[in-house]
């Protein structure tokens, strides 16, 4: 039962993180942004991608134990 709760929690966290990344991407495509904002948004996307990787890695490590 604990594995099911952990799985649902991890899937939810990844979904939220993915949504944030998609919103940033859509905003960048549909609006005019200056170079400073664009650079900051790209950095935020990289940080979000790293966060997703860490969430999934943590999930795998917990399931394997």
Domains in the chain: boundaries: 2-64
Nearest to 17 by CA among 48, 40, 39, 45: 48
The encoded tokens of residue 10 equal 């991890």
What separation, in Å, do the N-terminal and C-terminal C-alpha atoms of the chain show?
15
pLDDT mean over 11-26: 86
Nearest to 41 by CA among 56, 13, 32: 32
Q: What is the pLDDT of residue 65?
A: 80
Q: What is the pLDDT of residue 21?
A: 84
Q: What is the DSSP letter of 1?
A: -
Note the pLDDT tens digit of each residue in 19-63: 888 887 788 777 777 788 778 888 888 888 898 899 999 899 988
Q: What is the pLDDT of residue 11?
A: 92
Q: What is the pLDDT of residue 20?
A: 85
């Amino acid at each position: 039962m604990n594995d099911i709760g952990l799985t649902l929690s991890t899937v939810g966290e990844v979904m939220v993180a993915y949504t944030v990344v998609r919103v940033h991407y859509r905003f960048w495509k549909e609006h005019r942004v200056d170079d400073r904002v664009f650079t900051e948004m790209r950095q935020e996307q990289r940080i979000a991608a790293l966060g997703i990787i860490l969430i999934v890695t943590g999930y795998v490590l917990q399931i394997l134990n």
